[in-house]
Amino acid sequence: MNHRKLFYSKKFFLFNLVLVGILVGFTLSLVTFGCSTEVKPGEKAQAQTSTGTIENGSATSTALSLQNSFRSVAQKALPVVVELKVVEIRQQRVPDSRGWPWDFLFPEEENNNNNNGENQEREFRSQGLGSGVIVRNEGNKYYILTNDHVVGEADEIVAVLNDGREFTATLVGKDPRKDLALVMFEAEQGNIPIAELGDSDATQVGDWVLAVGSPFGFVSSVTAGIVSAKGRSGPQGNISDFIQTDAAINRGNSGGALVNIHGEVVGINTWIAAPTGGSVGLGFSIPINNAKKTIEDFITKGKVEYGWLGVTVGDVNQELAEELGIEETKGAFIHNVYIDSPADKGGIRPGDFITQINGVKVTSRDEVVRKVGDLEAGDTATFKVNRFGSTRTVEVKIGERKDSEEILSNQKKLWPGMIVVPLNEEVRKQLNLDDSQNGVLVANVDRGTKTYIGGIRNYDVVTAVNDEKIETIEDFYQLIGDKSIDEFKISYLREGEKYFTGIER
């Protein structure tokens, strides 16, 4: 029998019928024994409507409360954060695009069209994007705080409010040391809100915060996170102690607000640590307390005025602290003092260790730099210092800090003009010195100082000052800081050879 006849035969039909019956019976048995709920004939089964509650009602209430808090903060913060569109205009020469052989075949046309063969100048417009916070209103003037790197060298600035209104803004002042700038726009409308500035010192690690700005041009974006850390150091040259947060911060967020759970601005978003170029949960904001005096200075003076002590300072490690007779390492060590500076006139010496300013403890060199910078020129400040194991109080009349170029031009007044460190076993080994060799190692010499001009260089070993042997760091600073002496003979070793130089203070 062929396959076609088999397919249409009665035996094949009966076989299929039996097989179908077996499968149906097996399926019904699975349904009967697999259902945990018995469904009686005539009953209806239907989906239930949610009551809006879950078994743990307190957890739901807590979640809703947090959500409502975030909504409230966003509603308060969004109107005071603006998008800043900046344009920098540059004039650049543009070479002729035709080139050889056309300039050879048609020299007259080249001269006529290209100003006698010279390259023409064209205007190039470089556009940038950032954020800002409306922090002040005086009459019809509204002031926006942002980052210095947002405004850059902008020729045009446009502020875009949360409701879409646009205003032409002008630069009031900028400060690269804190990476802050203030711009201003005028508006007759009286319905523009002003940010409420909080107390960044009261912000604690673990606090909820929201970052508000325009990342990648997405205007009025809000992200949430916590304060991850405080007192972080930033990019080189920036003197702020940053608030670290895991709230998402990206390009375009710069200059925007970091707000607390009360909707108060506690920071200005500034930079991110981003190996990938995007947010990885490492965002940093300038504490708003660092910016309050800056805002005032910009509005009243057009620039930021810093107090000046006239020293170079650094942190200390445990080894250096022990040699100096310092019990703890929290504070700032004075490596150098500018001659005739406020510090010099007030009695501060190289080798002093600052522990307090105006009765408030300081923990690092960065903190000393910030606190001194916030002091007003002409005010008298009290410094508590540890000098070779003994504590004393020094009063200094603070000066006004000049710009960096003017300070560098006075390097000849920096005394002693170098940084020295202990000569320990490891250093002796690296320099092939005998274990009995004493002195201090020159870790850095500032160019333009008398010490540098006198010939002393990095990795020299100072062995004596005015023929007095140097055994420790304390010996060096006691001798070099003696203000009753004007002339110093400094003996030193370089690659095993002995040298000396004479320097007049």
Catalytic positions? 149, 179, 254
Beta-strand runs (E) in 39-179:
81-94, 120-138, 141-146, 156-160, 166-175
Q: Is 431 exposed, middle or buried (0-12, 13-18, 19+ CB in 10 A)?
A: middle
Closest CA to 374 of 295, 491, 435, 430: 295
143, 219, 291, 320, 360 from 210: Cα distances, Å: 22, 15, 19, 42, 31
Judge whether 344 and 338 are in contact, CB under 8 Å. Answer: yes
Terminal CA-CA length for the chain: 123
Residue 144 burial (C-beta neighbours within 10 Å; 0-12, 13-18, 19+)? buried
Residue with tokens 């390492």: 329
DSSP 158: E
Alpha helices in 35-79 (DSSP H): 57-77
Q: What share of the chain is helix, strand, coil (3-state, %, to 5)?
A: 25, 35, 40
Q: Side chain identity at 375, as an amino acid letter?
A: L
